[in-house]
Structure 1
Amino acid sequence: MALLVVLGGGESGVGTAILGLKKGYEVFVSDKGKIKEKYKNVLEHFGIDWEEEQHSEDRILKADLVMKSPGIPDKVPLVKQLVEKGVPVISEIEFASKYTDAKIIGITGSNGKTTTTMLTNHILASAELKVGMAGNIGDSYAKMVAENDFEYYVLEISSFQLDGIVDFKPSIAVITNITPDHLDRYEYEFENYIASKFRIAENQDENDYLIYDADDTVLVEWLKNHPVKSKLMPFSLNKVFEEGAFIEQNEIIIKTTTDTISMIKDTLALEGQHNVKNTMAAATIAKLVGIRKETIRACVSNFQGAPHRLEKVLKIHHVEYINDSKATNVNAAYYALDSMKSPTVWIVGGVDKGNEYMELMPLVREKVKAIICLGEDNEKIKHVFGNAVDLLVETFAMEEAVKVAYKIAERGDTVLLSPACASFDLFKNYEDRGDQFKNCVKNL
């Protein structure tokens, strides 16, 4: 019996363990940290062998196949040893894809991928297709493959997950955009990160589709120098295509070889130019899958949006509080500030991933009346924006940040949490950061 070793006992790890067991592997789960109680219970239920707070190297190095959770970098010594021994080290999406005949829709990008994934899933589910949504969002893809018989999978896929693929091949792939992010994992080389994102299309052939933002110069340049085999379906706010999605007057037009659909831009549920693009991508997928125009139009006008992404929390004394905790990089914060319509008190900061804040300067000068830093190290933010706003305050806890914002904000202002940074200095993850923000606002 072949030995499958799963490194990491989180959602993707436990899901992979269940699928591996079902497919006849001997399975061993090893986590260097603590495994959450709920996952331990699942492993015990299935009789899967596991360990926590250590890696038993002698046992792990005997593996026939290793599934590595996306959070573990390739440069970890144990992973290097496995690779040197010739043991395949793959990601959950690679492993699970081998065991399903479903049509796979893979969505990646620096920003917008969660919203695009959720909207796509919303349209397909509304059309009563048998669809599962997984990957970097919600439930484990491998666990879904083990327990369901879906016809479609809509997968949100991170660059870390794409680093661990060999044969993974979505029939429809989307790259929403590429901006510098996670550079600490890519030797601080932007090229490496771009190449990683484009792996989503590397196994595609001429029967497959790649949907991409034709306004994104990084994407356009890369495609020019590294052509793909799949059929290209661009979307744009200012270009027009024979096939693709574009704007004419106040309408979104989506053209495929067989059909055209138009939608009035003002009917979209999601606000902001970036969400016009996310909607274009999701609607193009729906069109390629063959969903009726009426269904697509209805879905883009009634979609609720992703939590922690420009999520309206409350209005208190005519001040709007917005939770954009999912903005873990500068580009995401750019979208958020760009969509602000009133003077903004901006809560920003966290773990800096090599951020370049200067591109936010025009928006900060135009829209931001005060900055509240929320992080253990705020030096870079203070250095860049110290002279750009009248007031900059340092805080080290969410409750403090929200109370300061409440004091500063005046009638008609907006308080925006859009950190532009990772959350791991003060919070478990961006969800924890967003939930704390919402709770603190509700307790004002």
Structure 2
Amino acid sequence: PGVPRESRYLAAAVKAKRELQNDASLFFRFAQNPTIAVTGTRGKTTTTHWIAQLLSKKYGPIVPTGNNPDNPFLTELRLLERSRDTKRPVVVEVSSWQSEYMARALRAPCIAVITNLFPDHLNRYGGSMEEYARAKAEIFRLQDKDDTLVLNADSTWTQFFLKQKPKARMFFFSKKPLAKNREGVFLRGAHLVFRTNGKEQKICSVKKFTKDFGEHNLENVMAGVAALFAFDQKMKFSERSLLQLKGVHMRQEIIFKKRGLTVVNDSTATSPDGTIAAIERFKNDHPLLITGGTDKDLEMRELARVIKQHILPARLILLNGSATKLLVADLLRKKYFKKTKPQLFGTLIECVEAATFIAKGKGTIIFSPGSASFEKFKNEFDRGEQFNKLVKNSFTKI
């Protein structure tokens, strides 16, 4: 799916009247199992993993597939074919690049979830948010009345998706009470509530969950619970079961914690919104931020505003790259640095060394690039693994 849409090789294949498919379209064409598919800009990986974890309690071990380097689509397809168990649910994460070809599968997921939509990958979509949204909408285009589409009632882009006239049953999730004519999961006070067919069911308190996992993860868990109720309304949830959910690798993952110092690996934050979420979560923990990377035609102004609000200039470490230059320009316009100069480094090892010296064993070091990785790394996972190794070498003696 990472092949550019304007690739001359794809153009040659089309000219030769060859059929084009990607891993997602092949998976949905041949997989016979009931499938819950999750897409969106932020939170899709966490939501996917949490749906799988909660389903596993009732249906046995489920490993998410799709946009997952440990279990990609075609690997999962082979496992399903060998098991011959067509009743076990499958949970998949779908990127916008993968969803572009999903309609070619001629089959749709029985449950589709769109967590939210923010600017991302605009270099692939000609700078157009609408084109990016259309790619996401492919996840539900072939759904019918027996399927369910789960949308974020608090997202400004939900109206766009509704204008595409989805044929599936609609569930929504929201941090506010839903409109009376809408079904789904919402927050009332400190409790999750599920509404369907005009009846409401109090699920559990999420007060401690929100405190421990952060406000943004409340949306992720609501999306997951809505999808699970759409799949099986006999599913049971409790505050304890939600607090037992495990975080996702390299997504605000705490990889080191000792004697007043915490280190967070958020390498999969490939857009400014991801880094903003990380800052908001750890803003009261004396944060030191390592950020920067490759540009994807995304605005950095809001990230610059949040950095100015919560990160001291002396505790901002910048990994040089095309996106970093844009961020620095926005910070300069906001007079963020004042009399200091940006702490700009060419390699990740230099960033970690500087962070180690500045932190002096206290506070929270957040590695959240807020941009792509391709100028210096294979991908965001390679970037994150390199960070983990550097942290292990730097902090194990503390």
State TM-score, norm by structure 2: 0.88
Q: Secondary structure in 1 aligned to 2:383?
A: helix
Asked if 1:342 corresponds to 2:273, the answer is: no
Evaluate the alpha carbon distance shift between residue 217 and residue 114 of structure 1 in structure 2; reply closer, same or farther with a 3 A threshold. same
Unaligned ranges ≥5, structure 1: 1-69
Asked if 1:235 corresponds to 2:185, the answer is: no
What is the alpha-carbon distance in structure 2 between the residues aligned to residue 296 and residue 284 of structure 1? Answer: 14
What is the alpha-carbon distance in structure 2 between the residues aligned to residue 364 and residue 239 of structure 1? Answer: 32
What is the alpha-carbon distance in structure 1 between the residues aligned to residue 126 and residue 264 of structure 2? Answer: 34
Q: Secondary structure in 1 aligned to 2:42?
A: coil
What is residue 253 of structure 2 aligned with on the other side? 311
C-alpha deviation, 1:239, in angstroms:
3.7
Asked if 1:371 corresponds to 2:336, the answer is: no
Confirm or deny: 8 A CA contact 2:122 2:298 kept in the other structure: no
Q: Secondary structure in 1 aligned to 2:123?
A: helix
CA RMSD of the aligned region, Å? 2.1
Q: Secondary structure in 1 aligned to 2:176?
A: coil
What is residue 181 of structure 1 aligned with on the other side? 120
What is residue 130 of structure 2 aligned with on the other side? 191
Q: Secondary structure in 2 aligned to 1:238?
A: coil
Q: Secondary structure in 2 aligned to 1:96?
A: helix
Evaluate the alpha carbon distance shift between residue 334 and residue 127 of structure 1 in structure 2; reply closer, same or farther with a 3 A threshold. same
Confirm or deny: 8 A CA contact 1:123 1:296 kept in the other structure: no
What is residue 252 of structure 1 aligned with on the other side? 192
What is the alpha-carbon distance in structure 1 between the residues aligned to residue 317 and residue 213 of structure 2? Answer: 25
Q: Secondary structure in 2 aligned to 1:127?
A: helix
What is the alpha-carbon distance in structure 2 between the residues aligned to residue 363 and residue 379 of structure 1? Answer: 17
Residues 344-379 of structure 1, C-alpha deviations (whole Å, 9 max, x = no match) = 221111111112111123321221013211134432
Asked if 1:160 corresponds to 2:108, the answer is: no
Residues 282-314 of structure 1, C-alpha deviations (whole Å, 9 max, x = no match) = 111222222645456543220111010111122
Q: Secondary structure in 1 aligned to 2:30?
A: coil
| Percent of residue pairs bearing the same amino acid type | 27
Q: Secondary structure in 2 aligned to 1:187?
A: coil
Q: Secondary structure in 2 aligned to 1:308?
A: coil
| Correspondent of 2:140 among 186, 201, 213 | 201
Evaluate the alpha carbon distance shift between residue 157 and residue 349 of structure 1 in structure 2; reply closer, same or farther with a 3 A threshold. same
Tell which structure's C-alpha radius of gyration is larger. Answer: 1
Confirm or deny: 8 A CA contact 1:234 1:244 kept in the other structure: yes
Confirm or deny: 8 A CA contact 1:348 1:418 kept in the other structure: yes
What is residue 302 of structure 2 aligned with on the other side? 359
What is residue 5 of structure 2 aligned with on the other side? 74
Matching residue's letter, 1:135:
G
Matching residue's letter, 1:219:
T
| Correspondent of 2:149 among 204, 207, 210 | 210
What is the alpha-carbon distance in structure 1 between the residues aligned to residue 241 and residue 137 of structure 2? Answer: 29
What is the alpha-carbon distance in structure 2 between the residues aligned to residue 213 and residue 235 of structure 1? Answer: 5
C-alpha deviation, 1:178, in angstroms:
0.9
Residues 381-390 or 307-316, more deviating: 381-390
Evaluate the alpha carbon distance shift between residue 389 and residue 231 of structure 1 in structure 2; reply closer, same or farther with a 3 A threshold. farther
What is residue 383 of structure 1 aligned with on the other side? 329
What is the alpha-carbon distance in structure 2 between the residues aligned to residue 83 and residue 261 of structure 1? Answer: 53
Confirm or deny: 8 A CA contact 1:126 1:295 kept in the other structure: no
Using CA pairs under 8 Å that are at least 6 residues apart, name the structure with larger relative contact order, 1 or 2: 2
C-alpha deviation, 1:90, in angstroms:
1.4
1:42-57 superposed matches below 5 A = none
What is the alpha-carbon distance in structure 2 between the residues aligned to residue 410 and residue 256 of structure 1? Answer: 53
Confirm or deny: 8 A CA contact 2:172 2:226 kept in the other structure: no
What is the alpha-carbon distance in structure 2 between the residues aligned to residue 100 and residue 273 of structure 1? Answer: 35
Residues 353-362 or 257-266, more deviating: 257-266
What is residue 29 of structure 2 aligned with on the other side? 98
Q: Secondary structure in 2 aligned to 1:381?
A: helix
1:20-39 superposed matches below 5 A = none
C-alpha deviation, 1:191, in angstroms:
1.0
Q: Secondary structure in 1 aligned to 2:136?
A: helix
C-alpha deviation, 1:266, in angstroms:
2.6
Asked if 1:443 corresponds to 2:375, the answer is: no
State TM-score, norm by structure 1: 0.79
Confirm or deny: 8 A CA contact 2:64 2:91 kept in the other structure: yes
1:216-227 superposed matches below 5 A = 216-220=155-159, 222-227=160-165
What is the alpha-carbon distance in structure 1 between the residues aligned to residue 367 and residue 184 of structure 2? Answer: 34
What is the alpha-carbon distance in structure 2 between the residues aligned to residue 404 and residue 334 of structure 1? Answer: 22
Confirm or deny: 8 A CA contact 1:368 1:389 kept in the other structure: no
Shift >6 Å, 4+ stretches: none
Evaluate the alpha carbon distance shift between residue 437 and residue 131 of structure 1 in structure 2; reply closer, same or farther with a 3 A threshold. closer
Q: Secondary structure in 1 aligned to 2:257?
A: strand
Confirm or deny: 8 A CA contact 1:91 1:162 kept in the other structure: no
C-alpha deviation, 1:224, in angstroms:
4.5
Evaluate the alpha carbon distance shift between residue 301 and residue 293 of structure 1 in structure 2; reply closer, same or farther with a 3 A threshold. farther
C-alpha deviation, 1:238, in angstroms:
2.4
What is residue 376 of structure 2 aligned with on the other side? 426
C-alpha deviation, 1:425, in angstroms:
1.4
Confirm or deny: 8 A CA contact 1:344 1:416 kept in the other structure: yes
